[in-house]
Amino acid sequence: MDFFTGTSAATVSERLRILAGGNVGIGTSAPSSKLHVAGDVRVTGGSFIDDGVTVIAPDYVFDPTYKLMPLDELAKFVHAEKHLPNVPSASNFKAEGINLSKLQMSLLEKVEELTLYTLDLKSQNEMLQKRLENLESQAKKQ
């Protein structure tokens, strides 16, 4: 079934195609999957829901047994691999596509890890500030 829009045969352009196998194309006449959209997809006042995905939120990052990668190891990894650990690379996205639910959870894991790194750095900074104040106090006494 083909759907067209226009006022005359010369101005008719295809907008939607449903193939016999069940693939639906919007903006393409050759849909290669169940829903193939050529162009932007916008959701207004609703959500994109994937009922087939089990979402495992990365709250495990906050478990006391979770080990953050030491920053020097992280720097080496990023320098060598050109992406973050547990986040797909650009070549992986190109080859396999993007699983949005999985990507969102990977990014949330990185945000949670960054939060822990930040809190650790704040603690270190406070400790160093106290040591500095103690040294300055000792220096004034001498």
Domain assignments of the chain as residue spans, ordered by start: 1-39, 53-142
Distances (CA, A) of 38 to 15, 21, 46, 83: 10, 19, 21, 28
d(CA 140, CA 52): 67
The segments of the chain whose pLDDT lies below 70 read 1-13, 53
Enter the pTM of the model.
0.66
- What is the model's pLDDT at position 1? 45
